[in-house]
Structure 1
Amino acid sequence: MTLQLSVPPTTKNPRMTGLPVAIIGAGPVGLAAAAELLERGQDVVVYESGPSAGHAIAQWAHTRFFSPWEYVVNEAAARLLEKHGWEAPEAAKNPSGAEFLRDYLLPLAQTPELAAVIRYDSEVMAVSKEGMDRTRSARRAQAPYQLQVRTCCGVQTLNARAVIDASGTYGQPNSILSSGLPVRDENAAERIFNALPDVLHEDRETFTGKHTVVVGAGHSAANTLLKLANLVRANDGTRVTWVVRSKNPHRVYGSAADELEARGKLGTDLQALVRDGVIELVDSFEIDAASVADGRLVLKGRRRGEDFALEADQAVAATGFRPNLGLLAEVRLAMDEIVEAPRALAGLIDPNLHSCGSVDPHGVAELSHPDANLYIAGMKSYGRAPTFLLLTGYEQVRSIADDLAGNHEAARLVQLVLPETGVCSTDADGGCCS
């Protein structure tokens, strides 16, 4: 049974008059939220910390989505684009990150409607209630939100009637250590790369002829492993070891029943590479420490109850991501203490309980918090849980937009049908969106 949070009804409040809905992040979910709200006649402002829309995607633009175009375009955004002559890409094709930016997200951000409301190089540092921190209750519901936004001109304080945090998690990678603590040895940390390096192009020299350990059992790990395998076949001396802390990586291997063909192929191709010895798999390895000795990266920990160590030149941390909740420290959130997702959503996505690729329909009710009209949406709403799909975020912000526009009944008629993976497991080492 889904836990439901009561959602306070929208009321007339003179202190909110003329204030916009503030959206944090100009990624696909943030811009979808803006398009949904504009379509309903709501005022919005979008704060993006980077110099352009989709700044995080640009960092892994070489990676191809395993979802085709039909699953990565928001309907309200498409309607806005079509007003300006946009033609949708071929629905069945799988875009790369670069193609997604070029053919969809950047044109969306450049529409006159959105271009007028996006503020680039604007980092939201903190969100609170005007004149009160999280401990003050008197007249709290009547107070607008207050955002501290850092721009090239300094820090500005701006008000909003509602806040949608769609800032994502890409800037907050998980550690390779099983404890979750960061690697403190600076020499070792320098040899550990973030997920999805451009192995075959920009970073090719870094990986050619080296022994690389890829840590993680999600789709971002699979993407990197497949590309490193090309170097193994093309260059003598290149080695790849894949480390997972589970007993086996069957969730990544997938199933013939996967409804996303590219996601299924990702797993079957990886399984074949392990079987053929191109990639060495080290399962059940809990990494406790990382250091450098004699010019080599040394990973130490436990494997099947015994001390175990692995040496390599470098590692890739494909261990997933976590949300940065620091900017929301002064507002009242209802967050799950394990997954770091909204409490009513956490039970639907907790990888200890559920990782089948399907998620029950959810929207404004599951995403609401004690402070009304405050939402965490998109990949950040999943906290530390993997396997987020853009379709999920699009339905989230559709529901939120309806509620903020006063269409409370429509907001609660949520529908979410996701492509099934055909696999259920309790593996939770991280995954890549869409």
Structure 2
Amino acid sequence: MGDVAGAVAEAGAEAYPRIVATLIRVTGDWTLAEDCAQEALATALERWPRDGVPANPGGWLMTAARNRAVDVLRRASVERRKLRELARLTDPEPASPKAEGDVVDDRLRLIFTCCHPALALEARVALTLRTVAGVPTADIARAFLVTESTMTRRLTRAKTKIATAGIPYQVPTGPALVERLPGVLAVLYLLFTRGYDADGEPAFAAEAIRLARLLDRLMPDQPEVAALLALFLLHESRRAARRDADGNLLALDVQDRSRWDHAAIAEGRSLLDRAGDGQYVLQARIALCHATAPTAADTDWPAIAGWYDQLARLRPTPVIQLNRAVAHGFAYGPTAGLRLLAEARAGGALDRYPPALTAEAEFTARTGNPVRAAALFRAAAALVKSAAERRALLKRADDLTAGGP
């Protein structure tokens, strides 16, 4: 039974978003699509132990969900057109190349629907996680630090707004695509970040990479899509080396670079070869510069500082200005870093932002003031939510007061 349950879970992880996307396209009913997908999984848990795991588990689940939708719609006396459309959904055992393309198009339509600008950014991210990535509502709630019931209500409101506002279930074309694509990429970026943070859920990062691959496969002429995928891969390549044997976070300059995923780095480089200009291109070039430096001392900080100069002109946000200050500090000395950091903090947006305090602490230590630097590291530690980050910052402070590096 354990093997069968594992087979259901594995097939469900792959098929659930496909099923939901396809049924939403045909019925226009989000709740029905999700309910039928869930019932297909429950039916599999009941029948597969008796009948055996089918040769095409995903196709079996799609057929079961489709049949369930037909039954529900028939009982509800829904218009004959929808029933005819459901009947035309071919059994995907085995799936033809065209059928696979149709499924991918459904997933892309769903991404753009979830990421419509009429929805708040948090709602876009949550709806993408739940509907496109199939992440359980409880896990999404934990990521947003709310209760499961609260997140359920938010998801319901988002789906209701899509229905009442008549948001189309489609990939926009022409100027509308150019207008909407940045919002989709921003959601994927946030999704990856939530999975790559110190205490983030790695599955979220994996989903962001998978969805970015989907977008890149279907939109190969969009350089920012390729660049975003490259950025994800280059960051993810370092995951195995980010912690020591005790689970403590390791700074980039002390990581064992032999543990980095060099295949992912090579793929990221290849993607950037066909990328043009844009914010994600610049960020990916910065990440590639880190990823390809044989040692920390070999990092081309002047090049990174130059790319941050361009990025700051393109998007002069406080966080990008902070990162620019850090790059200049490593490229041209701590005094240059502190000067630009003061400019970045002038508006007050970074006053309680731990990375800003950490950068000030690092450059202060390099100017020969370990006591003040240690105090700044401890102030940053008091603000972070991650226990792993807190330990790392406090250790850095202790090392300074003990005469360490």
Larger radius of gyration: 2
Q: In proportion to residue count, which structure has more helix?
A: 2
More strand as a share of residues: 1
TM-score scaled by length of structure 1: 0.24
